[in-house]
Amino acid sequence: MKALKRILIVLAIILTIPLIVAAFIKGEYTVEESIIINQPEEVVFAYIKHLKNQDNFTKWAKMDPDMEKTYTGTDGTVGFVSAWKSDIENVGVGEQEILSIKENEKITFELRFLEPFESTQEAYMSTDDLNENQTEVKWGFSGKMYYPMNFMLLFMDFEEMIGEDFQEGLKNLKVILEKKK
């Protein structure tokens, strides 16, 4: 009986430690990548504010060129929704909606993932005019994992997981836009 009691105490401690640690872990995370594109800001922003254009440069669109896409509203305007459905697990099912546009500065959208997991995050693309022929583009998103799931943030590197995909997409965007010269 003493052995069973000790085993139960050890198990309780093992299960309690992550819960205690999670109480002290920040639940928010942010990923941002950037690139410089040799085009005027107006040209770059006019392209990135249209969500349909993401099919030309994002890694996820290239992973499944046969994914089902549906659109609601007018692309490049607040309220436009781009939805996707893919059988590829890394692409999944979801949608994004344009929440705000600050012309030639920033487009903010909400990502709503439905499968393989449910999650909602805010994302953005912004431009910064470096000179008349160079624009810095930033692509980022932020999210939150609530207690006690925030404990998993100790083992997840969103910068590596998502940042590399953003960087690949930004490089593709650079190639596309610099060919427009």
Q: Pinpoint the alpha helices (H) of the chain.
A: 2-22, 41-48, 59-63, 158-161, 163-178
In a domain, 3, yes or no: no
Residue 64 lies in a domain: yes
Largest CA distance in the chain: 80
Q: Strand (E) positions, the chain?
A: 28-37, 68-72, 81-85, 93-102, 106-115, 119-131, 134-144
Compute, in degrees rounded to 10, the torsion defined by CA atoms 87, 91, 95, 100: -170
d(CA 81, CA 110): 9
Structure confidence at residue 171 as a pLDDT band (50, 70, 90): very high
- The answer to whether residue 20 is domain-embedded is no
146: confidence class by pLDDT, cuts 50, 70, 90:
low
pTM of the model: 0.79
The answer on pLDDT for 24 being more than 80 is no
**Among 106, 110, 114, which Cα is nearest to 123's?**
110
Q: Is residue 41 part of a domain?
A: yes
Among 29-38, 103-112, 169-178, which stretch is predicted with the lowest mean pLDDT? 29-38
Structural domain contains residue 17: no
pLDDT, tens digit (0-9, with 9 covering 90-100), for 108-134: 999 998 887 787 889 999 999 999 999
Classify residue 19: in a domain, yes or no: no
Supply the range of the domain harboring residue 90: 27-178
Contact 108, 94 (CB under 8 A): no
Question: In the predicted model, what is the mean pLDDT of residues 83-105?
Answer: 89
Q: What is the pLDDT of residue 151?
A: 65
* d(C-alpha 22, C-alpha 168), whole Å: 32
Asked if 141 and 123 touch (Cβ cutoff 8 Å), the reply is: yes
pLDDT at 19: 67
Q: Specify the residue for token string 């942010």.
A: 30
DSSP structure class, residue 9: H
- What CATH number is attached to the domain comprising 82? 3.30.530.20
Joined together, the tokens standing for residue 64 give: 């499944």
Q: Average pLDDT, whole number, for the chain?
A: 86
Amino acid at site 63: M
Number of other CB atoms surrounding residue 132 within 10 Å:
8
How many domains does the chain contain in total? 1
**Does 8 fall in a domain?**
no
- pLDDT score for 156: 65
For residue 4, is it within any domain? no
> Which pLDDT score is estimated for 9?
83
pLDDT reported for residue 153: 62
